Amino acid sequence: DAMVIQNPRYQVTQFGKPVTLSCSQTLNHNVMYWYQQKSSQAPKLLFHYYDKDFNNEADTPDNFQSRRPNTSFCFLDIRSPGLGDAAMYLCATSRDGQKNEKLFFGSGTQLSVL
Amino acid sequence: GDSVTQMEGPVTLSEEAFLTINCTYTATGYPSLFWYVQYPGEGLQLLLKATKADDKGSNKGFEATYRKETTSFHLEKGSVQVSDSAVYFCALSDAGGTSYGKLTFGQGTILTVHP
């Protein structure tokens, strides 16, 4: 029944070692989002796609990249993780990105950087 | 830019107590307002929403009214249960241009309900 699936649930990487987080959806939604949530803070939008149209937030570090090879999948690449990148990463979707639509969230990937 | 401010937590209540979690917002346009809930080990899920001034969103005994004059969207429940223990996020969406429904969140309020 899971509609937005994130793998893995927990990811451990080393300082500076590239890491990829994945997200898939069975909803056929047009918009996919990546949020970063640090402990006791608000989820912060990194970027989002409308179909293949990529939208980066102005304050998202260059270290963070994303790919959406098809409607169902979206990836978050962290090129050189630092200790400050340890966080929960949330993937979400919405059907058409209208402001009154709800977002569907995955369970998140908890990233640790050693 | 847009912002959302929630009351500081954590909030600890006894079962059947009345709950209020305050939320105020700043937005340039006419946003839609949401409350999302995150149960332990799960992703965020929509609790309720309101899309215009004076609308009331409600679900599972929770209510919130969109107050444009006070820029607020406070969450209330008359009688909380242990199963309501979770983190509650207030959020707004002020989509336009390439915003595509992106949400701006408050920092979240942890609610713990004791039997």
Task: List pLDDT tens digits, range A30-42.
Answer: 999 999 999 888 8
Q: What pLDDT, on a 0 to 100 scale, did the predictor assign at position B28?
A: 81
Asked if pLDDT for residue B71 goes beyond 80, the answer is: yes
Nearest to A97 among B89, B101, B106 (CB): B101
Q: How far is CA B8 from CA B15, B19, B42, B84, B101, in A?
A: 20, 14, 22, 18, 26
pLDDT tens per residue, range A4-50: 999 899 999 999 999 999 999 999 999 999 999 998 888 999 999 99
Among residues A76, A78, A83, A84, the alpha carbon closest in space to that of A114 is found at A83
φ, ψ of residue A12 to 5 degrees: the values are -115, 130
Cβ separation A40–B46 shorter than 8 A: no
Work out the average pLDDT over A51-64.
Answer: 92
* Test the A interface: residue of B66, B102, B107, B109 with most A CBs within 10 Å: B102
Q: What pLDDT, on a 0 to 100 scale, did the predictor assign at position A1?
A: 64
CA distance A23 to chain B (A): 13
Work out the average pLDDT over B65-81.
Answer: 96
A·B CB contacts under 8 A: 74
Length of chain A: 114
Asked if pLDDT for residue A87 goes beyond 80, the answer is: yes
**Residue A56 touches partner B, C-beta closer than 8 Å:** no
Cα(B25)–Cα(B9) distance, integer angstroms: 17
CA distance B3 to chain A (A): 11
Q: Parallel, antiparallel, or unpaired for β A10-13 and B19-21?
A: unpaired
Whole-number mean pLDDT of chain A? 93
Give me the amino acid identity at A89. Y
Residues in chain A closer than 8 A to B106 (CB atoms): 42
Q: Tell which wins on pLDDT, B62 or B99.
A: B62
**Residue A87 touches partner B, C-beta closer than 8 Å:** no
Q: Express as a percent the part of chain B with pLDDT over 70.
A: 96
Work out the average pLDDT over B19-43.
Answer: 91
Residue B8, burial from CB neighbour count under 10 angstroms (0-12, 13-18, 19+): exposed
Cβ separation B103–A90 shorter than 8 A: no
**Residue A88 touches partner B, C-beta closer than 8 Å:** no
Q: Express as a percent the part of chain A with pLDDT over 90.
A: 86
Distance of CA A67 to the CA centre of its chain: 10
Residue B1, burial from CB neighbour count under 10 angstroms (0-12, 13-18, 19+): exposed
Q: What pLDDT, on a 0 to 100 scale, did the predictor assign at position B12?
A: 97
Beta strand ranges found along B15-108 (DSSP E)? 19-21, 23-26, 32-38, 44-50, 56-59, 62-65, 75-77, 86-93, 103-105
